[in-house]
Structure 1
Amino acid sequence: MTYDCAVVGCGAIGSQFESDERSEAILTHAAACSAHDDTSLVAGVDTSDRNRVAFEERWGVPAYATVTELATEHNVDLACISTPSETHADAIRAAVDIGVSGILCEKPVATETAAGADVVELCESADVPLAVNYTRRYAPGCRDAREAIRAGELGSVHRAVFTYTKGFLENGSHMVDLARWWFGDLDRVADARTDVEADATLWIDDVACEVVGTGTHTYSYTAVDVYGSEGSLHLIDDGNVLLRRVGQPDPVFDGFEKLMDDRRFETGIYRALLTALDDLVATVRDGSPLTCSGEDALRTLEVCEEVLEGSP
Structure 2
Amino acid sequence: MDSLSKTLPTGPPPPTGPPDHTLLTTPTADLTDLPYPSRAIAPSPNPSPSPLTRTFTTSVTYTYHPSSAPRRSLHPAVCLFGGLSTRGNFLVLLVYVDDVILARNNLEDIGNTKLFLANQFKLKDLGQLKYFLGIEVARSQHGISLLQRKYALEILDDAGFLGVKPSRFPVEHNLSLTQFDGKLLDDASAYKRMVGALIYLTITRPDLTYVVHILSQFMDKPRQPYLEAAHKVLKYIKQTPGQGILLPSTGSLQLRAFCDADWAHCKDIRRSITGYCILLGQAPVSWKTKKQTTVSHSSAEAEYRSMATTCCEVTWLKNILKDLGVNHTQPVTLFCDNQAAIHIA
Structure (1/2) with the larger strand percentage: 1
Question: Which structure is larger by alpha-carbon Rg, 1 or 2?
Answer: 2
Structure (1/2) with the larger helix percentage: 1
Pick 1 or 2: higher relative contact order, CA cutoff 8 A, min separation 6: 1
Q: Same fold per TM (> 0.5)? A: no
